[in-house]
Structure 1
Amino acid sequence: MVAYYPELAQRVRSQRDLQPELYGEFDFDQQPDRLATEPDVDSALPTWVADRAPILQDDRVTELISTATMLGDVVADPYAALMNTYSVAQLIDMLKTACRQGIEAVLDAPAELASFIGAMEATPEWIDFDLVREGARQERIPAALLAPFITRGAFIATFTNTYAALPMALTGALSGKRAARRVNETASFFAVTTLPGALDRYGPGFEAAAMVRLMHSMVRYNALKKSGKWDTAVYGMPVPQVDQMPAGMIGQYLLARKARQQGRTEFTAEERAVVEFARYRCFLLGLPEELLPSEPADIVHVMHARSALLRHGFDNICRELVQGTMAAYLRPDTTLFDRCAEAVEKSFSKLTFVRTFCGGDRNVAEAMGVSLASTDLMRVALTAPFIIGRFTAVTHASRIPVLRDVTDAYVIGLLELRLATYGKPEFTSDSAHYTPFRTD
């Protein structure tokens, strides 16, 4: 019974009416096996992170996560389903035109596209754009100076659970160029959204968010209609909104944990801007407001609840995804500099993964396919003084009024170089490349 989030529950139920071809046979009343509500089962929430029992006793947050686990994208999914009428290239071209020039510029624009763009344009009242712009300015510093060294480590964290990782396995992004492309696309998206004005209505970040949503919706459509493998009774909704929350809010979760460790119940002014920026970016990605709390305690609670209600599972699929992503070569060239930069980045990513997602336990990481060797630690030790030192220096300089503009110009220039290194993102999902997967 819905007690706390009736509007969110209605949004979930509306999917069948909005897209009967895709969700007509989807049982939104059936709890999928991935949703672990039993108190005596293993979940994705490690015991070293938090105690699961109090979360299960919180009916409000349990209802929130259970409901959001069944939510896809009520406006992007119908547009992606037009693959039966339009080619993927046509859908992409129309979406890009609508993002860059407005829906009026799309000749005979389908109603589904108008609804999609209209939903992204409908900025909620809870967004403070002054904070968003300030948050973007702050976030482009780590995007330029730290993200290139840790993105892979954070990316593979999404593969540590069978139920959440399965859509990626289905797309065939297990190894090689496709794995590298997915990592670089992720890094590119988070980087471009921090540029000045990127999340404005006609900015490149707005378009990138729309493209990411289309990609996820294509994965949902192909998983349910073309893979012949997706078991909704076990896995539920492919790429549900609740699985996109960790990627969108991980930085803010870490800020919230830091605040709580320091005995604070509120964010500082700087932290508040970063949180608001992330919340708006998540809104553009389709996440509902209910999954985007703004206070430290609420952010931590919701993030922990998502893991506490996700059944534990790590199988061969996860291991292949982790190993394939770690083995992928991300640099644009194979010069000596590129190979050295690749080695340093891998070492930092491994350390990030071990510390952030394995509680510092190298044996746990090893079991998942990430080996942090002594050579990795040596590379980190040799390069960290420059990498961390530069980040710290630029961060401090950005807080000095007389240096702020000069610092920002330097960061923007570096960020644009990073984007060139990542390559041009495609943000597409082609069912022709999908591969069979094993669930053993």
Structure 2
Amino acid sequence: MSTYYPELHERVRRQAELLPALYGDLDFDSQPYRTTTNPDDVSSLRGKPSTRAKILADESVVELISTTTWLGDVVSDSYAALMGQYSVSTLIGMLKTACRKGIDAVEDAPPELAAFIADMEATPDWLDMELVREGAEHSRLPMALLAPFVVRGAFIATFLNTYAALPMALTGALSGNRAARRVNETTSFFAVTTLPGALDRYGPGFEAAAMVRLMHSMVRFNALKRSPKWDVGIYGLPIPQLDQMPAGMINLYLLAMDARRRGRTEFTRGERAVVEFTRYRCVLLGLPEELLPTTPGEIIRVLSARSAMLRDDFDDATCGELVRSTMDAYLRQQDTVGERIADSVEKSYSKLFFVRMFTGGKREVAARMGVTLGAGDYARIALTVPFVYGRAAVVARAARIPGLRRITRAYVLRLLKRRLEAYGTAEYTSDVADYTPAGSAA
């Protein structure tokens, strides 16, 4: 087979040279059990078998998925590997200081931290930063008005495959009260990045991205080196860049599918701005350009290829437990009657979003996964739709009227900041002491 991505191919193999303690024992020429190109195997891709067959016949995209299955985050992983020398709190503290004040403000900063920050500061020349800023503004309104009602449904969609969900299951971070914290941290990250200037070098979104990268690296390091449950031959690399792509680009997938339904092969100017903003946010998280396509067709192609090559498995002890604990989690900071009502409404919207987007509208399939959409949920949605979607529509229309634009922007920003206060302070940590046994997929 031809090598379509030689630079990416070389980047993967250099990981063993750059960080042998973590990557030295990995066989990058093999593929873990989770990855399958056998047409007879059941994959995570839903739909007609002919669709999967067409994807598997595309050598270029098959290589891309196979290669990025082994792609980690060497600069962040190298910093996380210092856990043997520094406490987790010290590593987090130094990273926060470097993000807020610069690397020179960190006393005796380790070279791994300097390399980590330098990597995040190096903005690729293939990004259009003017579009990035425009895209942040376009993303702010749905993040403030709509995302809070569906984010839980999108979040649990990342737990529907045992091979991809196991790293989070091992951390124990989605059981009990930790489930609420992780959902709020995830929502907070995506919300804070849309604030004006948030992704600038010293912005809060830049720091949040660094913290997310460090958390992923800590999970990766602990799973490979400290967890007897992690089998590289089955699961491959914990949290490869390939598995970060769906969460980072789910909004673009929805945009791409909407464009396809409307018969368009290109995005509008506003949509293209959202694409560029999302790509930059993903770059700060460590994703390579090859996993960040820009057109509707390419976005659908790459995300579908991942599903087509990811072996299907829903282990109830892993996936089911993650879904149930996340759906049961109470996300509010206060326990009042009003907040309880708001929590139940949000859960109903999240359930509906999940059923429509990830089970093809089949409630019985969702129920087997731990998401039960009932009459009470439909009633709550029916009663609140005029407010939830009606308000979003009114604000979106007002934002297009020159005389109301300034007032509308201020309103959305004020609401978004209130949302961030409600999500609480994000910690973005992973402690091996919290790691728990998880179910086996094979």
* Same topology, TM > 0.5: yes
Cα displacement string for residues 141-182 of structure 1 (whole angstroms, at most 9, x for unaligned residues)? 111111111110000000100000000100113421101111
Secondary structure of 2:373's partner?
coil
Q: Which residue of 2 aligns with 1:232?
A: 232
In structure 1, C-alpha distance between the alignment counterparts of 2:159 and 2:334, rounded to whole Å? 27
* Runs of 4+ in structure 1 over 6 Å off: none
Residue type of the partner of 1:132? V
SS in 2 for 1:188: helix
> CA RMSD for the aligned pairs?
1.1
Equivalent residue, structure 2, for 1:400: 401
Show the 5 A alignment for 1:271-290. 271-290=271-290
Partner of 2:196: 196
- 1:36 alignment counterpart: 36
Q: How much does 1:315 deviate?
A: 0.8
Distance 1:249 1:178 in 2: 24
**How many angstroms does 1:50 deviate by?**
8.2
Tell me the CA shift for residue 396 of structure 1: 1.4
Alpha-carbon contact 1:48-1:359 (below 8 Å) kept: no
Distance 1:128 1:107 in 2: 35
Determine the C-alpha separation between the residues in 2 that align with 1:237 and 1:2.
24
Normalization by structure 1: what TM-score?
Answer: 0.98
Asked whether the 8 Å contact 2:141–2:412 carries over to 1, the reply is yes
Matches within 5 A, 1:239-388: 239-316=239-316, 317-388=318-389
* C-alpha displacement of 1:49: 11
The CA deviation at 1:128 is 1.0
Q: 1:165 is matched by which residue type in structure 2?
A: A
Which residue number in structure 2 is paired with residue 3 of structure 1?
3
Say which is worse superposed, 179-188 or 15-24, in terms of deviation: 15-24
Q: Distance in 1 between matches of 2:165 and 2:308?
A: 16
Q: What SS class does the counterpart of residue 51 from structure 1 fall into?
A: helix
- Return 260-269 or 157-166, whichever deviates more: 260-269
User: Contact (CA 8 Å) 2:70, 2:240: kept in 1 or not?
Assistant: yes
Q: Contact between 1:36 and 1:309, CA under 8 Å: does it hold in 2?
A: yes
Q: TM-score, normalised by structure 2?
A: 0.98
Do 1:98 and 1:117's aligned partners in 2 also have CA atoms closer than 8 Å?
Answer: yes
Cα distance change of structure 1 residues 386 and 295 upon mapping to structure 2, 3 Å threshold: same
| Residues 327-363 of structure 1: per-residue CA shift (max 9 Å, x gap) | 1111111111100000000000000000010110001
What is the aligned partner in structure 1 of residue 171 from structure 2? 171
Measured after TM superposition, the shift of residue 59 of structure 1 is: 0.2
Cα contact 2:174–2:182 (8 A) shared by 1: no
Instruction: Check conservation: 2:315, 2:439, Cα contact below 8 A.
Output: no
Show the counterpart of 1:437: 438
Q: CA deviation at 1:73?
A: 0.5
- The residue identity in structure 2 corresponding to 1:67 is T
**Percent sequence identity over aligned pairs:** 66
For the Cα contact (< 8 Å) 1:77–1:214, is it kept in 2?
yes
Mapped to 2, the partners of 1:305 and 1:379 lie a distance apart of: 37
1:218 aligns with 2:211: no
Task: Give the number of equivalent residue pairs.
Answer: 440
Residue 248 of structure 1 and its aligned partner are, at CA, apart by: 0.8
Q: Secondary structure at the match of 1:237?
A: coil
> What letter is aligned with 1:256?
A
- Structure 1 residue 22 displacement after superposition: 1.2
Contact 1:2 1:9 in 2 (8 A): no
Q: Structure 1 regions of 5+ residues with no counterpart? A: none
Letter of the 2:365 partner, please give it: V
State the distance in 1 between where 2:20 and 2:107 align.
26
Once the two structures are superposed, residues 22-46 of structure 1 have per-residue CA deviations (whole angstroms, 9 ceiling, x without a partner) of 1121222221000111111111111
Rounded to whole Å, the distance in 1 between the matches of 2:391 and 2:231 is 48
Answer whether contact 1:11 1:74 (CA < 8 A) is retained. Answer: no
String of CA shifts for 1:72-114, please: whole Å, max 9, x gaps: 1021001000001111111101111111111111111111111
Aligned to 1:74: 74
1:77-88 equivalences under 5 Å are: 77-88=77-88
- Inter-partner Cα distance in structure 1 for 2:432 and 2:49: 37
The aligned residue for residue 161 of structure 1 is 161
| Secondary structure of 1:370 counterpart | coil
Displacement of 1:48 in angstroms is: 6.3
Deviation digits for residues 236-286 of structure 1, max 9, x if unmatched? 000010011011111111111111111111110110101110000000000
Q: Distance in 2 between matches of 1:427 and 1:48?
A: 39
Amino acid at match of 2:436: T
- For 1:416 and 1:348, the matched residues in 2 are separated by 22
Write the letter of the residue equivalent to 1:182.
R
Moved more, 127-136 or 286-295: 127-136
CA contact (8 A) 1:143 1:191 kept: yes
Contact 2:136 2:277 in 1 (8 A): yes
Confirm or deny: 8 A CA contact 2:159 2:319 kept in the other structure: yes
Cα distance in structure 1, aligned partners of 2:166 and 2:2: 29
1:70 partner SS: coil
CA deviation map 1:357-391 (0-9, x unaligned): 01100011011110001100110111011000011
CA–CA distance in structure 1, aligned partners of residues 347 and 417 of structure 2: 22
* Rounded Cα–Cα distance in structure 1 between residues aligned with 2:94 and 2:50: 45
The answer (yes or no) to whether the contact 1:140–1:194 under 8 Å persists in 2 is: yes
